[in-house]
Structure 1
Amino acid sequence: MEIRDKVAIVTGGASGIGAGMAQHWARQGARGVVVADLNLERAQGVAAGIGAQAVAMKCDVSREADIQQLVHATRERFGQVDIYFSNAGILGKPGGIDLEDALWDKMWQVHGMAHIWAARAVVPEMVARGEGYFVITASAAGLLNIVESAPYGVTKHAAVAIAEWLRIAYGRQGVRVSCLCPQSVQTDMTAGGTGSAGLDGVLTPEQVAEVVTQTMREEKFLALPHPEVAKYFLNKGQDYDRWLGGMQKLYSAHMGAGAKP
Protein backbone atom coordinates (compact mmCIF):
# COMPACT_ATOMS: atom_id res chain seq x y z
CA MET A 1 0.00 0.00 0.00
CA GLU A 2 1.13 3.53 -0.76
CA ILE A 3 0.56 6.20 1.88
CA ARG A 4 -0.41 9.08 -0.41
CA ASP A 5 -4.03 10.22 0.00
CA LYS A 6 -4.67 7.72 2.80
CA VAL A 7 -6.14 8.39 6.26
CA ALA A 8 -4.14 6.97 9.15
CA ILE A 9 -4.74 6.64 12.88
CA VAL A 10 -1.60 6.40 15.01
CA THR A 11 -2.01 5.45 18.66
CA GLY A 12 0.79 6.32 21.04
CA GLY A 13 1.32 9.18 18.62
CA ALA A 14 2.52 11.83 21.06
CA SER A 15 6.11 10.61 21.17
CA GLY A 16 8.62 8.04 20.02
CA ILE A 17 7.71 5.64 17.24
CA GLY A 18 4.15 6.96 17.02
CA ALA A 19 5.20 10.58 16.56
CA GLY A 20 7.86 9.57 14.06
CA MET A 21 5.35 7.51 12.11
CA ALA A 22 2.74 10.30 12.02
CA GLN A 23 5.32 12.81 10.80
CA HIS A 24 6.71 10.42 8.21
CA TRP A 25 3.32 9.54 6.77
CA ALA A 26 2.40 13.20 6.53
CA ARG A 27 5.55 13.75 4.46
CA GLN A 28 4.55 10.75 2.33
CA GLY A 29 1.34 12.55 1.38
CA ALA A 30 -1.30 11.15 3.71
CA ARG A 31 -4.44 13.28 3.46
CA GLY A 32 -5.31 12.70 7.12
CA VAL A 33 -3.22 11.74 10.14
CA VAL A 34 -4.83 11.28 13.55
CA VAL A 35 -2.31 11.58 16.38
CA ALA A 36 -3.97 9.66 19.21
CA ASP A 37 -2.56 9.49 22.71
CA LEU A 38 -3.49 9.53 26.37
CA ASN A 39 -1.41 12.72 26.64
CA LEU A 40 -3.53 15.09 24.55
CA GLU A 41 -1.29 18.10 25.03
CA ARG A 42 1.75 16.33 23.62
CA ALA A 43 -0.35 14.85 20.80
CA GLN A 44 -1.52 18.36 19.92
CA GLY A 45 2.09 19.47 19.73
CA VAL A 46 2.91 16.68 17.27
CA ALA A 47 -0.18 17.41 15.16
CA ALA A 48 0.58 21.15 15.10
CA GLY A 49 4.07 20.40 13.85
CA ILE A 50 2.69 18.28 11.03
CA GLY A 51 0.19 20.76 9.64
CA ALA A 52 -3.38 20.99 8.45
CA GLN A 53 -3.83 17.32 7.56
CA ALA A 54 -3.16 16.22 11.17
CA VAL A 55 -5.44 16.28 14.18
CA ALA A 56 -4.82 15.21 17.77
CA MET A 57 -7.30 13.08 19.71
CA LYS A 58 -7.18 11.77 23.25
CA CYS A 59 -7.42 8.01 23.58
CA ASP A 60 -6.77 5.51 26.35
CA VAL A 61 -6.26 2.26 24.44
CA SER A 62 -6.94 0.22 27.58
CA ARG A 63 -10.61 1.23 27.15
CA GLU A 64 -12.58 -0.14 24.20
CA ALA A 65 -15.00 2.79 24.35
CA ASP A 66 -12.10 5.21 23.78
CA ILE A 67 -10.96 3.29 20.71
CA GLN A 68 -14.49 3.19 19.30
CA GLN A 69 -14.82 6.95 19.83
CA LEU A 70 -11.42 7.54 18.20
CA VAL A 71 -12.45 5.64 15.08
CA HIS A 72 -15.87 7.33 14.99
CA ALA A 73 -14.32 10.79 15.28
CA THR A 74 -11.81 9.96 12.54
CA ARG A 75 -14.60 8.90 10.18
CA GLU A 76 -16.50 12.08 11.01
CA ARG A 77 -13.43 14.18 10.17
CA PHE A 78 -11.92 12.30 7.20
CA GLY A 79 -14.61 9.90 5.96
CA GLN A 80 -12.83 6.60 6.51
CA VAL A 81 -9.84 4.85 8.07
CA ASP A 82 -7.33 3.43 5.60
CA ILE A 83 -4.52 2.64 8.04
CA TYR A 84 -4.66 1.85 11.74
CA PHE A 85 -1.29 1.82 13.49
CA SER A 86 -1.94 0.12 16.83
CA ASN A 87 1.24 1.33 18.44
CA ALA A 88 0.59 2.45 22.03
CA GLY A 89 2.56 0.51 24.61
CA ILE A 90 3.84 0.60 28.17
CA LEU A 91 7.10 -0.67 29.63
CA GLY A 92 5.85 -1.59 33.08
CA LYS A 93 8.75 -2.42 35.37
CA PRO A 94 11.39 -5.13 35.81
CA GLY A 95 10.32 -8.38 37.38
CA GLY A 96 8.55 -11.65 36.80
CA ILE A 97 5.83 -13.72 38.41
CA ASP A 98 6.22 -11.68 41.58
CA LEU A 99 4.78 -8.56 39.96
CA GLU A 100 1.29 -7.49 40.97
CA ASP A 101 -1.78 -8.63 39.04
CA ALA A 102 -2.79 -5.03 38.35
CA LEU A 103 0.36 -4.53 36.26
CA TRP A 104 -0.13 -7.79 34.39
CA ASP A 105 -3.76 -6.85 33.68
CA LYS A 106 -2.76 -3.42 32.36
CA MET A 107 -0.13 -4.94 30.09
CA TRP A 108 -2.68 -7.44 28.74
CA GLN A 109 -5.09 -4.60 27.99
CA VAL A 110 -2.57 -2.34 26.26
CA HIS A 111 -0.52 -4.97 24.41
CA GLY A 112 -3.34 -7.42 23.76
CA MET A 113 -6.95 -6.34 23.96
CA ALA A 114 -6.23 -2.87 22.55
CA HIS A 115 -5.36 -4.53 19.23
CA ILE A 116 -8.52 -6.67 19.33
CA TRP A 117 -10.69 -3.65 20.11
CA ALA A 118 -9.08 -1.64 17.33
CA ALA A 119 -9.60 -4.48 14.85
CA ARG A 120 -13.27 -4.68 15.83
CA ALA A 121 -13.59 -0.99 15.11
CA VAL A 122 -11.86 -0.80 11.70
CA VAL A 123 -11.49 -4.22 10.08
CA PRO A 124 -15.16 -4.65 9.04
CA GLU A 125 -15.11 -1.41 7.04
CA MET A 126 -11.79 -2.41 5.46
CA VAL A 127 -13.25 -5.77 4.44
CA ALA A 128 -16.34 -4.06 3.01
CA ARG A 129 -14.12 -1.69 1.03
CA GLY A 130 -11.73 -4.45 0.00
CA GLU A 131 -8.72 -2.48 1.19
CA GLY A 132 -7.06 -1.42 4.41
CA TYR A 133 -3.91 -1.76 6.45
CA PHE A 134 -3.60 -2.74 10.12
CA VAL A 135 -0.18 -2.47 11.75
CA ILE A 136 0.58 -3.69 15.27
CA THR A 137 3.66 -2.62 17.18
CA ALA A 138 4.93 -5.61 19.10
CA SER A 139 8.67 -5.80 19.79
CA ALA A 140 11.64 -8.04 19.18
CA ALA A 141 10.60 -9.26 22.64
CA GLY A 142 7.44 -10.61 21.02
CA LEU A 143 9.56 -12.93 18.89
CA LEU A 144 12.51 -13.53 21.22
CA ASN A 145 11.31 -12.64 24.74
CA ILE A 146 13.21 -10.37 27.13
CA VAL A 147 14.88 -11.20 30.43
CA GLU A 148 14.16 -7.96 32.28
CA SER A 149 10.35 -8.03 32.35
CA ALA A 150 8.07 -11.05 32.16
CA PRO A 151 4.85 -9.05 31.58
CA TYR A 152 6.42 -7.14 28.70
CA GLY A 153 7.80 -10.23 26.97
CA VAL A 154 4.65 -12.29 27.48
CA THR A 155 2.18 -9.65 26.32
CA LYS A 156 4.31 -8.68 23.33
CA HIS A 157 4.17 -12.34 22.28
CA ALA A 158 0.39 -11.94 22.39
CA ALA A 159 0.63 -8.88 20.14
CA VAL A 160 2.53 -10.89 17.52
CA ALA A 161 -0.05 -13.70 17.72
CA ILE A 162 -2.92 -11.26 17.26
CA ALA A 163 -1.25 -9.78 14.19
CA GLU A 164 -0.65 -13.27 12.79
CA TRP A 165 -4.30 -14.23 13.30
CA LEU A 166 -5.58 -11.06 11.67
CA ARG A 167 -3.31 -11.65 8.67
CA ILE A 168 -4.52 -15.25 8.39
CA ALA A 169 -8.20 -14.37 8.77
CA TYR A 170 -8.41 -11.23 6.64
CA GLY A 171 -5.40 -11.28 4.34
CA ARG A 172 -7.46 -12.59 1.43
CA GLN A 173 -10.20 -10.04 1.99
CA GLY A 174 -8.13 -6.98 1.18
CA VAL A 175 -6.88 -6.25 4.71
CA ARG A 176 -3.11 -6.11 4.92
CA VAL A 177 -1.54 -6.74 8.33
CA SER A 178 2.03 -6.15 9.45
CA CYS A 179 3.77 -6.50 12.80
CA LEU A 180 6.54 -4.16 13.88
CA CYS A 181 9.22 -5.88 16.00
CA PRO A 182 12.12 -3.51 16.74
CA GLN A 183 14.73 -3.73 19.41
CA SER A 184 15.67 -0.47 21.11
CA VAL A 185 14.38 2.82 19.70
CA GLN A 186 14.83 6.36 20.98
CA THR A 187 11.58 6.80 22.94
CA ASP A 188 10.39 7.81 26.38
CA MET A 189 10.32 4.11 27.26
CA THR A 190 14.07 3.68 26.66
CA ALA A 191 15.22 6.99 28.11
CA GLY A 192 16.36 5.33 31.33
CA GLY A 193 18.37 2.59 29.62
CA THR A 194 17.82 -0.08 27.01
CA GLY A 195 18.87 -3.27 28.82
CA SER A 196 19.31 -6.34 26.64
CA ALA A 197 17.15 -4.75 23.94
CA GLY A 198 19.97 -2.33 23.07
CA LEU A 199 22.46 -4.98 22.00
CA ASP A 200 22.24 -4.13 18.29
CA GLY A 201 22.01 -0.35 18.55
CA VAL A 202 19.38 2.26 19.24
CA LEU A 203 17.45 3.55 16.21
CA THR A 204 15.60 6.80 15.71
CA PRO A 205 11.82 6.85 15.22
CA GLU A 206 12.40 8.13 11.67
CA GLN A 207 14.51 5.08 10.84
CA VAL A 208 11.75 2.83 12.17
CA ALA A 209 9.11 4.75 10.20
CA GLU A 210 11.00 4.24 6.96
CA VAL A 211 11.17 0.48 7.57
CA VAL A 212 7.45 0.27 8.40
CA THR A 213 6.48 2.21 5.27
CA GLN A 214 8.64 0.02 3.06
CA THR A 215 7.19 -3.10 4.69
CA MET A 216 3.71 -1.81 3.89
CA ARG A 217 4.65 -1.10 0.28
CA GLU A 218 5.88 -4.67 -0.05
CA GLU A 219 2.95 -5.97 2.05
CA LYS A 220 5.24 -8.14 4.15
CA PHE A 221 4.26 -9.30 7.62
CA LEU A 222 7.30 -8.57 9.78
CA ALA A 223 8.76 -5.07 9.94
CA LEU A 224 12.26 -5.53 11.37
CA PRO A 225 14.19 -2.25 11.76
CA HIS A 226 16.97 -4.30 13.40
CA PRO A 227 17.69 -6.96 10.74
CA GLU A 228 19.63 -9.03 13.29
CA VAL A 229 16.28 -10.02 14.82
CA ALA A 230 15.50 -12.20 11.78
CA LYS A 231 18.69 -14.18 12.40
CA TYR A 232 17.95 -14.60 16.11
CA PHE A 233 14.40 -15.71 15.33
CA LEU A 234 15.70 -18.26 12.83
CA ASN A 235 18.17 -19.58 15.40
CA LYS A 236 15.35 -19.92 17.92
CA GLY A 237 13.27 -21.97 15.51
CA GLN A 238 16.14 -24.20 14.40
CA ASP A 239 17.32 -25.16 17.90
CA TYR A 240 14.83 -24.07 20.56
CA ASP A 241 16.66 -25.69 23.49
CA ARG A 242 20.01 -24.12 22.59
CA TRP A 243 18.29 -20.75 22.24
CA LEU A 244 16.68 -21.17 25.68
CA GLY A 245 20.09 -21.96 27.13
CA GLY A 246 21.46 -18.73 25.70
CA MET A 247 18.57 -16.77 27.17
CA GLN A 248 19.20 -18.41 30.54
CA LYS A 249 22.75 -17.09 30.41
CA LEU A 250 21.45 -13.60 29.68
CA TYR A 251 19.03 -13.89 32.59
CA SER A 252 21.77 -15.06 34.95
CA ALA A 253 23.98 -12.14 33.90
CA HIS A 254 21.05 -9.77 34.43
CA MET A 255 20.43 -11.15 37.91
CA GLY A 256 24.11 -11.05 38.69
CA ALA A 257 24.01 -7.32 38.12
CA GLY A 258 21.63 -7.07 41.07
CA ALA A 259 18.34 -6.88 39.20
CA LYS A 260 15.08 -8.11 40.68
CA PRO A 261 13.72 -11.33 39.09
Structure 2
Amino acid sequence: MELDGKVAIVTGGAGGIGAALAEALVARNVRVVITDLAAEGLDSVAATLAEHAPGSITTIAGDAASPEHIDATIALAETEFGPVDLYFANAGITGAPGLAATDDEWAQVIDVNLMGHIRAARRLVPGWVERGVGYFVSTASAAGLLTQLGSATYSVTKHAAVGFAEWLNVTYGDRGVRASCLCPMGVDTKLLRPDDTPADEGAVLMQRAVETAGRVLTTTEVADVVIDAIGDERFLILPHPEVLEMYRHKGADYDRWLRGMRRYQQSLVDSAKP
Protein backbone atom coordinates (compact mmCIF):
# COMPACT_ATOMS: atom_id res chain seq x y z
CA MET A 1 0.00 0.00 0.00
CA GLU A 2 1.15 3.51 -0.79
CA LEU A 3 1.05 5.47 2.47
CA ASP A 4 1.10 9.07 1.30
CA GLY A 5 -2.11 10.86 2.27
CA LYS A 6 -3.62 7.92 4.13
CA VAL A 7 -5.40 7.94 7.53
CA ALA A 8 -4.33 5.55 10.29
CA ILE A 9 -5.24 4.59 13.84
CA VAL A 10 -2.53 3.28 16.16
CA THR A 11 -3.48 1.73 19.49
CA GLY A 12 -0.97 1.58 22.33
CA GLY A 13 0.40 4.83 20.95
CA ALA A 14 1.61 6.49 24.15
CA GLY A 15 5.00 4.82 23.93
CA GLY A 16 6.93 1.81 22.70
CA ILE A 17 6.22 0.37 19.26
CA GLY A 18 2.99 2.37 18.95
CA ALA A 19 4.71 5.73 19.33
CA ALA A 20 7.45 4.67 16.91
CA LEU A 21 4.84 3.58 14.36
CA ALA A 22 3.05 6.90 14.68
CA GLU A 23 6.32 8.75 14.10
CA ALA A 24 7.17 6.64 11.05
CA LEU A 25 3.69 7.11 9.59
CA VAL A 26 3.60 10.88 10.11
CA ALA A 27 7.01 11.11 8.42
CA ARG A 28 5.36 9.55 5.35
CA ASN A 29 2.49 12.03 5.24
CA VAL A 30 -0.02 9.80 7.01
CA ARG A 31 -2.54 11.46 9.31
CA VAL A 32 -2.69 9.49 12.53
CA VAL A 33 -4.96 9.04 15.53
CA ILE A 34 -3.10 7.53 18.47
CA THR A 35 -4.93 6.01 21.40
CA ASP A 36 -3.87 4.56 24.73
CA LEU A 37 -4.99 4.35 28.35
CA ALA A 38 -2.09 6.67 29.26
CA ALA A 39 -3.44 10.13 28.42
CA GLU A 40 -0.28 11.97 29.49
CA GLY A 41 1.89 9.76 27.32
CA LEU A 42 -0.40 10.40 24.35
CA ASP A 43 -0.11 14.15 24.83
CA SER A 44 3.68 13.92 24.98
CA VAL A 45 3.94 11.83 21.80
CA ALA A 46 1.47 14.06 19.96
CA ALA A 47 3.28 17.24 20.99
CA THR A 48 6.59 15.89 19.72
CA LEU A 49 5.17 14.76 16.39
CA ALA A 50 3.19 17.96 15.90
CA GLU A 51 6.44 19.92 15.92
CA HIS A 52 7.48 18.17 12.72
CA ALA A 53 4.10 17.61 11.11
CA PRO A 54 1.46 20.00 12.45
CA GLY A 55 -2.08 18.92 11.79
CA SER A 56 -1.14 15.29 11.21
CA ILE A 57 -1.72 13.84 14.67
CA THR A 58 -4.55 13.72 17.17
CA THR A 59 -5.25 11.63 20.27
CA ILE A 60 -8.00 9.97 22.24
CA ALA A 61 -7.45 8.20 25.55
CA GLY A 62 -9.23 4.96 26.34
CA ASP A 63 -9.27 1.17 26.33
CA ALA A 64 -8.37 -0.26 22.92
CA ALA A 65 -10.49 -3.34 23.66
CA SER A 66 -13.68 -1.38 24.38
CA PRO A 67 -16.25 -1.36 21.56
CA GLU A 68 -17.38 2.12 22.59
CA HIS A 69 -13.81 3.42 22.53
CA ILE A 70 -13.14 1.80 19.16
CA ASP A 71 -16.23 3.51 17.76
CA ALA A 72 -15.16 6.84 19.27
CA THR A 73 -11.64 6.52 17.87
CA ILE A 74 -12.88 5.76 14.37
CA ALA A 75 -15.38 8.63 14.58
CA LEU A 76 -12.61 11.01 15.62
CA ALA A 77 -10.40 9.90 12.74
CA GLU A 78 -13.22 10.37 10.24
CA THR A 79 -14.10 13.81 11.61
CA GLU A 80 -10.52 15.09 11.76
CA PHE A 81 -8.95 13.39 8.75
CA GLY A 82 -11.38 11.28 6.73
CA PRO A 83 -12.08 7.55 6.28
CA VAL A 84 -9.65 5.21 8.06
CA ASP A 85 -7.27 3.38 5.71
CA LEU A 86 -5.04 1.56 8.20
CA TYR A 87 -5.60 0.19 11.69
CA PHE A 88 -2.65 -0.85 13.85
CA ALA A 89 -3.92 -3.14 16.62
CA ASN A 90 -0.82 -2.62 18.70
CA ALA A 91 -2.00 -2.37 22.32
CA GLY A 92 -1.04 -5.40 24.39
CA ILE A 93 -0.51 -6.67 27.92
CA THR A 94 1.30 -9.67 29.41
CA GLY A 95 -1.04 -10.63 32.24
CA ALA A 96 -0.36 -12.96 35.13
CA PRO A 97 1.95 -15.86 34.26
CA GLY A 98 1.28 -19.57 34.33
CA LEU A 99 -1.60 -21.50 35.84
CA ALA A 100 -1.82 -19.00 38.69
CA ALA A 101 -3.68 -16.60 36.39
CA THR A 102 -7.30 -16.24 37.46
CA ASP A 103 -10.29 -16.32 35.14
CA ASP A 104 -10.56 -12.55 35.42
CA GLU A 105 -6.89 -12.13 34.51
CA TRP A 106 -7.30 -14.44 31.52
CA ALA A 107 -10.36 -12.49 30.42
CA GLN A 108 -8.47 -9.19 30.59
CA VAL A 109 -5.56 -10.42 28.49
CA ILE A 110 -7.86 -12.05 25.95
CA ASP A 111 -9.85 -8.82 25.76
CA VAL A 112 -6.86 -6.61 25.01
CA ASN A 113 -4.63 -8.97 22.98
CA LEU A 114 -7.36 -10.56 20.88
CA MET A 115 -10.87 -9.16 21.23
CA GLY A 116 -9.67 -5.61 20.64
CA HIS A 117 -8.42 -6.77 17.24
CA ILE A 118 -11.65 -8.59 16.43
CA ARG A 119 -13.86 -5.67 17.47
CA ALA A 120 -11.86 -3.18 15.40
CA ALA A 121 -11.91 -5.44 12.34
CA ARG A 122 -15.64 -6.03 12.77
CA ARG A 123 -16.13 -2.27 12.70
CA LEU A 124 -13.78 -1.44 9.80
CA VAL A 125 -13.56 -4.35 7.37
CA PRO A 126 -17.08 -4.13 5.87
CA GLY A 127 -16.41 -0.53 4.87
CA TRP A 128 -13.02 -1.44 3.48
CA VAL A 129 -14.61 -4.16 1.35
CA GLU A 130 -17.06 -1.62 -0.04
CA ARG A 131 -14.22 0.81 -0.81
CA GLY A 132 -11.96 -1.96 -2.11
CA VAL A 133 -9.06 -0.92 0.12
CA GLY A 134 -7.94 -1.13 3.75
CA TYR A 135 -5.09 -2.42 5.86
CA PHE A 136 -5.16 -4.16 9.27
CA VAL A 137 -1.84 -4.62 11.07
CA SER A 138 -1.87 -6.85 14.13
CA THR A 139 0.95 -6.64 16.65
CA ALA A 140 1.36 -10.19 17.90
CA SER A 141 4.80 -11.50 18.88
CA ALA A 142 7.28 -14.23 18.08
CA ALA A 143 5.46 -15.86 21.01
CA GLY A 144 2.51 -16.23 18.67
CA LEU A 145 4.56 -18.39 16.31
CA LEU A 146 6.74 -20.14 18.88
CA THR A 147 5.75 -19.79 22.55
CA GLN A 148 6.47 -17.59 25.54
CA LEU A 149 8.34 -19.13 28.44
CA GLY A 150 6.88 -17.96 31.72
CA SER A 151 3.51 -16.65 30.51
CA ALA A 152 0.61 -18.78 29.35
CA THR A 153 -1.71 -15.78 28.98
CA TYR A 154 0.67 -13.93 26.68
CA SER A 155 1.59 -16.97 24.60
CA VAL A 156 -1.97 -18.17 24.07
CA THR A 157 -3.40 -14.76 23.16
CA LYS A 158 -0.55 -13.97 20.79
CA HIS A 159 -1.11 -17.30 19.03
CA ALA A 160 -4.75 -16.29 18.73
CA ALA A 161 -3.82 -12.86 17.34
CA VAL A 162 -1.71 -14.51 14.63
CA GLY A 163 -4.58 -16.84 13.81
CA PHE A 164 -7.08 -14.00 13.51
CA ALA A 165 -4.76 -11.99 11.27
CA GLU A 166 -4.27 -15.05 9.06
CA TRP A 167 -8.03 -15.48 8.82
CA LEU A 168 -8.50 -11.83 7.83
CA ASN A 169 -5.85 -12.16 5.14
CA VAL A 170 -7.33 -15.33 3.69
CA THR A 171 -10.96 -14.21 3.89
CA TYR A 172 -10.62 -10.66 2.59
CA GLY A 173 -7.28 -10.55 0.80
CA ASP A 174 -8.89 -10.85 -2.63
CA ARG A 175 -11.41 -8.11 -1.80
CA GLY A 176 -8.96 -5.26 -1.32
CA VAL A 177 -8.32 -5.73 2.40
CA ARG A 178 -4.74 -6.35 3.45
CA ALA A 179 -3.75 -7.90 6.79
CA SER A 180 -0.27 -8.24 8.23
CA CYS A 181 1.01 -9.61 11.52
CA LEU A 182 3.99 -8.19 13.40
CA CYS A 183 5.92 -10.88 15.32
CA PRO A 184 9.08 -9.49 16.95
CA MET A 185 11.15 -11.02 19.72
CA GLY A 186 12.72 -8.58 22.18
CA VAL A 187 11.96 -4.88 21.75
CA ASP A 188 13.14 -2.21 24.18
CA THR A 189 9.78 -1.22 25.64
CA LYS A 190 8.14 -1.02 29.07
CA LEU A 191 6.43 -4.32 28.30
CA LEU A 192 9.81 -6.07 28.26
CA ARG A 193 11.63 -3.82 30.70
CA PRO A 194 9.18 -2.34 33.20
CA ASP A 195 10.27 0.34 35.64
CA ASP A 196 9.93 -2.11 38.55
CA THR A 197 11.85 -5.40 38.63
CA PRO A 198 9.38 -8.29 38.22
CA ALA A 199 8.84 -10.14 41.48
CA ASP A 200 7.05 -13.19 40.09
CA GLU A 201 9.27 -16.09 38.97
CA GLY A 202 7.27 -16.53 35.79
CA ALA A 203 7.62 -12.87 34.87
CA VAL A 204 11.36 -13.01 35.51
CA LEU A 205 11.64 -16.13 33.34
CA MET A 206 9.67 -14.43 30.58
CA GLN A 207 11.95 -11.39 30.62
CA ARG A 208 15.15 -13.47 30.65
CA ALA A 209 13.90 -15.69 27.83
CA VAL A 210 13.16 -12.73 25.58
CA GLU A 211 16.38 -10.87 26.35
CA THR A 212 18.59 -13.90 25.71
CA ALA A 213 16.82 -15.25 22.61
CA GLY A 214 18.21 -12.56 20.29
CA ARG A 215 19.12 -8.91 20.02
CA VAL A 216 16.73 -6.50 21.70
CA LEU A 217 15.70 -4.00 19.00
CA THR A 218 14.78 -0.37 19.34
CA THR A 219 11.21 0.61 18.61
CA THR A 220 12.41 2.67 15.65
CA GLU A 221 14.04 -0.39 14.10
CA VAL A 222 10.78 -2.30 14.44
CA ALA A 223 8.69 0.54 12.99
CA ASP A 224 10.96 0.78 9.95
CA VAL A 225 10.51 -2.95 9.26
CA VAL A 226 6.74 -2.56 9.56
CA ILE A 227 6.66 0.31 7.08
CA ASP A 228 8.70 -1.70 4.57
CA ALA A 229 6.38 -4.69 4.98
CA ILE A 230 3.29 -2.55 4.37
CA GLY A 231 4.89 -1.28 1.18
CA ASP A 232 5.31 -4.90 0.05
CA GLU A 233 1.95 -5.94 1.52
CA ARG A 234 3.78 -8.78 3.27
CA PHE A 235 1.78 -10.78 5.81
CA LEU A 236 4.42 -11.92 8.27
CA ILE A 237 6.48 -9.02 9.62
CA LEU A 238 9.63 -10.31 11.31
CA PRO A 239 12.00 -7.64 12.69
CA HIS A 240 14.07 -10.61 13.93
CA PRO A 241 14.51 -12.67 10.72
CA GLU A 242 15.82 -15.64 12.73
CA VAL A 243 12.28 -16.23 14.01
CA LEU A 244 11.38 -17.70 10.63
CA GLU A 245 14.14 -20.32 10.95
CA MET A 246 12.99 -21.14 14.50
CA TYR A 247 9.45 -21.51 13.20
CA ARG A 248 10.63 -23.85 10.46
CA HIS A 249 12.47 -26.01 12.99
CA LYS A 250 9.33 -26.15 15.10
CA GLY A 251 7.21 -27.36 12.19
CA ALA A 252 9.82 -29.80 10.92
CA ASP A 253 10.07 -31.75 14.20
CA TYR A 254 7.64 -30.54 16.83
CA ASP A 255 8.71 -32.98 19.56
CA ARG A 256 12.39 -32.16 19.11
CA TRP A 257 11.56 -28.46 19.29
CA LEU A 258 9.59 -28.96 22.50
CA ARG A 259 12.48 -30.84 24.07
CA GLY A 260 14.80 -28.01 23.08
CA MET A 261 12.48 -25.43 24.61
CA ARG A 262 12.38 -27.37 27.87
CA ARG A 263 16.19 -27.47 27.94
CA TYR A 264 16.34 -23.74 27.22
CA GLN A 265 13.85 -23.05 29.99
CA GLN A 266 15.85 -25.13 32.47
CA SER A 267 19.07 -23.36 31.48
CA LEU A 268 17.46 -20.00 32.28
CA VAL A 269 16.23 -21.26 35.64
CA ASP A 270 19.66 -22.68 36.49
CA SER A 271 21.51 -19.53 35.47
CA ALA A 272 19.27 -17.45 37.77
CA LYS A 273 20.18 -19.49 40.84
CA PRO A 274 22.64 -17.80 43.27
Pair in the same fold by TM > 0.5: yes
CA deviation string 1:215-242 (max 9, x = no partner): 1111110000000100000111111111
Q: What are structure 1's unaligned runs of at least 5 residues? A: none
Tell me the residue number matched to 1:72. 75
Equivalent of residue 173 in structure 2, options 161, 171, 174: 171
Tell me the residue number matched to 2:189. 187
User: How far 1:247 sits from its partner (Å)?
Assistant: 1.2
User: How far 1:257 sits from its partner (Å)?
Assistant: 5.7
SS of match in other structure, 2:99? coil
Tell me the residue number matched to 1:243. 257
Equivalent of residue 53 in structure 1, options 43, 52, 56: 56
> Is residue 266 of structure 2 the alignment partner of residue 252 of structure 1?
yes
Q: What is the TM-score when the length of structure 1 is the normalising length?
A: 0.95
Tell me the residue number matched to 1:81. 84
| Counterpart-to-counterpart distance in 2, 1:254 and 1:161 | 29
Tell me the residue number matched to 1:197. 210
> Is residue 150 of structure 2 the alignment partner of residue 148 of structure 1?
yes
CA deviation string 1:81-107 (max 9, x = no partner): 0100000001224x3122211111111
Q: Give, as a single letter, the amino acid of the residue that structure 2 aligns with 1:80.
A: P
1:215-254 → structure 2 map (5 Å cutoff): 215-254=229-268
Backbone CA RMSD of aligned residues: 1.5
| Counterpart-to-counterpart distance in 1, 2:46 and 2:64 | 19
Tell me the residue number matched to 1:27. 27
Tell me the residue number matched to 1:2. 2
CA contact (8 A) 1:138 1:159 kept: yes
| Counterpart-to-counterpart distance in 2, 1:148 and 1:134 | 29
User: How far 1:77 sits from its partner (Å)?
Assistant: 1.4
CA contact (8 A) 1:141 1:156 kept: yes
| Counterpart-to-counterpart distance in 1, 2:40 and 2:29 | 24
Residue-pair matches, total: 257
| Counterpart-to-counterpart distance in 2, 1:218 and 1:80 | 22
| Counterpart-to-counterpart distance in 2, 1:252 and 1:186 | 25
CA deviation string 1:27-77 (max 9, x = no partner): 1111x1111111112111111111121001112023111111111221121
Range moving further from structure 2, 18-27 or 51-60: 51-60
> Is residue 211 of structure 2 the alignment partner of residue 208 of structure 1?
no
Range moving further from structure 2, 215-224 or 61-70: 61-70
| Counterpart-to-counterpart distance in 1, 2:89 and 2:252 | 30
SS of match in other structure, 2:188? coil
User: How far 1:255 sits from its partner (Å)?
Assistant: 4.2
User: How far 1:251 sits from its partner (Å)?
Assistant: 2.7
SS of match in other structure, 1:167? helix
- Overall identity of the aligned pairs, in %: 45
| Counterpart-to-counterpart distance in 1, 2:40 and 2:22 | 16
Range moving further from structure 2, 95-104 or 117-126: 95-104
User: How far 1:254 sits from its partner (Å)?
Assistant: 4.0
CA contact (8 A) 2:8 2:87 kept: yes
| Counterpart-to-counterpart distance in 1, 2:149 and 2:222 | 23
Q: What are structure 2's unaligned runs of at least 5 residues? A: 195-203
Q: Give, as a single letter, the amino acid of the residue that structure 1 aligns with 2:227.
A: T
Range moving further from structure 2, 145-154 or 56-65: 56-65
User: How far 1:142 sits from its partner (Å)?
Assistant: 0.3
| Counterpart-to-counterpart distance in 1, 2:8 and 2:181 | 16
CA contact (8 A) 2:137 2:180 kept: yes
